[in-house]
């Protein structure tokens, strides 16, 4: 029964979410239609927080399902690459070979970011995945940066600002640029940290279209700051978070627009979507 008290409570909650720049609302069953695949220039997927090896969790089955879901995306609409955005394993470096062999079953190329639970030396990480904790790559007229947000002990840190500034300048003439980093650089979630210099650089980067995070398992939406969009993708596994395990899709259209939507594989429609 909808009482006045419940009505006021829900109204206030809605105002708070809107004020925070969050877009976690669900969409009606017939409100979302994917663009013609021929109009999609580049398509990639993001998933994070597998916590492979965490005790008393179904991490093995969760990883198996996520690989199957992403491979199904690849077979149906195509995926150019995926990004596993941090916390691939849970603390123990001995888990690294096994989790890598799991992700090697993906049918598309994949990249990884270093998370606070990935407690392994950078040299070992680089030997396993062929990329350092800070990494840049490009696909035609689009550039991508992967930034590190934790040290080997799991302490939250801001990314290497000098390296990031150099890469942002290097790729400023690309049509669009995207950033992947495990922990958000704005303390607007319980587990975020403030990196004001980094945010200032992001705000000034005209071709920056999106910054993508993991870490906050309960977050699966988007927040906006200074005209830039910051996204989350829930979680692959772990002992807490959203009541579903999901991933995020990004489609760069021929028109220059960018469409991003969060997927709960157990329902037909996206959890949310944003067009930039």
pLDDT of residue 99 exceeding 90: yes
pLDDT of residue 17 exceeding 50: no
Domain membership flag for residue 7? no
pLDDT of residue 14 exceeding 70: no
Domain membership flag for residue 100? yes
Domain membership flag for residue 48? yes
Integer angstrom CA distances of residue 88 from 6, 57, 82, 215, 239: 40, 14, 13, 11, 14
pLDDT of residue 21 exceeding 90: no
The better pLDDT of the pair 8, 209 is held by 209
Domain membership flag for residue 98? yes
Cβ-proximal residues to 6 (8 Å cutoff; 6+ apart), any chain: none
Dist. CA 146–CA 178, nearest whole Å? 9
Integer angstrom CA distances of residue 264 from 26, 31, 148, 237, 246: 11, 16, 27, 13, 5
| CATH code, domain with 241 | 3.60.21.10
- Tens-place pLDDT, residues 162-191: 999 999 999 999 999 999 999 999 999 999
Taking residues 83-110, report their average pLDDT.
98
Q: Which of 149, 146, 147 is nearest to 118 (CA)?
A: 149
DSSP state of 157: -
Domain membership flag for residue 252? yes
Say which range, 8-12, 65-69, 122-126, has the weakest mean pLDDT. Answer: 8-12
Domain membership flag for residue 211? yes
Domain membership flag for residue 22? no
pLDDT of residue 228 exceeding 50: yes
Q: Domain limits at 144?
A: 40-275
Question: Residue 163: its pLDDT value, please?
Answer: 98
Number of structural domains in the chain: 1
Question: Residue 191: its pLDDT value, please?
Answer: 93
pTM of the model: 0.89
Say which range, 19-28, 124-133, 138-147, has the weakest mean pLDDT. Answer: 19-28
Tokens (6 digits) for 268: 């037909």
DSSP state of 91: S
Longest distance between any two alpha carbons in the chain, whole Å = 60
Sign of CA dihedral 267, 60, 113, 21: positive
- Tens-place pLDDT, residues 150-164: 999 999 999 999 999
Domain membership flag for residue 129? yes
**Confidence band, pLDDT 50/70/90 cuts, at residue 32:** confident
């Amino acid at each position: 029964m909808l009482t006045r008290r419940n009505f006021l409570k829900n109204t206030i909650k809605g105002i708070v979410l809107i004020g925070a720049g969050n877009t976690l609302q669900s969409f009606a069953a017939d409100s979302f239609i994917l663009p013609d695949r021929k109009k999609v220039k580049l398509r990639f997927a993001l998933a994070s927080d597998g916590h492979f090896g965490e005790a008393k969790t179904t991490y093995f089955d969760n990883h198996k399902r996520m690989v199957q879901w992403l491979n199904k995306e690849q077979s149906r609409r195509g995926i150019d690459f995926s990004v596993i955005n941090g916390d691939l394993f849970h603390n123990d470096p001995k888990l690294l070979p096994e989790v890598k062999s799991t992700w090697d079953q993906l049918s598309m190329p994949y990249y990884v970011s270093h998370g606070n639970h990935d407690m392994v030396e950078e040299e070992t990480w680089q030997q396993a995945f062929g990329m350092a904790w800070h990494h840049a790559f490009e696909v035609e007229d689009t550039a991508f940066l992967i930034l590190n947000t934790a040290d080997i002990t799991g302490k939250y840190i801001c990314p290497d600002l000098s390296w990031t500034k150099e890469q942002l300048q290097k790729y400023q003439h690309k049509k669009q640029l995207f950033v992947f980093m495990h922990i958000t650089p704005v303390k607007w979630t319980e587990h975020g940290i403030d990196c004001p210099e980094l945010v200032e650089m992001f705000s000034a980067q005209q071709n920056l279209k999106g910054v993508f995070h993991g870490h906050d398992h309960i977050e699966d939406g988007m927040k906006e700051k200074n005209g830039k969009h910051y996204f989350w993708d829930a979680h692959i596994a772990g002992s807490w978070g959203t009541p579903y395990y999901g991933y995020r899709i990004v489609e760069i259209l021929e028109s220059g627009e960018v469409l991003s939507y969060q997927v709960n594989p157990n329902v037909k429609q996206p959890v949310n979507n944003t067009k930039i």
